[in-house]
Amino acid sequence: MFSISTLGDVVRIPPSLFGTTLKKAALNILKEKYESMINVDLGYIIMILDAKVEEMGKMIAGDGGTFHKVEFDALTFYPKLQEIVNGEIVDITDFGAFVRIGPTDALLHLSQVMDDYLKSDVKSGMILANQSGRTLKVGSTLRARITAVSLGKAATMGKIGITCRQPFLGAHEWIAEEIKKAEGSDDSAKPAKEAKAEAS
* 49 contact partners, CB below 8 Å, separation of at least 6: 4, 72, 73, 74, 75
User: Span 111-136, mean pLDDT?
Assistant: 88
- 64 DSSP assignment: -
Q: Is 84 helix (H, G, I), strand (E, B) or coil?
A: strand
Q: What angle do CA 192, 194, 199 make, to 5 degrees?
A: 95
**Domains in the chain: ranges and CATH:** 2-77 (3.30.1490.120), 84-182 (2.40.50.140)
Q: What is the pLDDT of residues 40-77, one digit of tens each?
A: 888 899 999 999 999 998 988 888 899 999 999 999 99
Band of the pLDDT at 184, cuts 50, 70, 90? Answer: confident
- The percentage of the chain sitting over the pLDDT mark of 90, rounded to a whole number, equals 56
Q: How high does pLDDT run on average in the chain?
A: 87
pLDDT at site 199 = 47
When comparing pLDDT for 116 and 200, which is higher? 116
For 27, residues 6+ apart whose C-beta sits below 8 A from its C-beta are 48, 51, 72
| Threshold 0.85, pTM exceeds | no
Q: Where are the alpha helices (H) located in the chain, listed in sequence order?
A: 22-34, 172-199
| pLDDT of 192 over the 60 cut | no
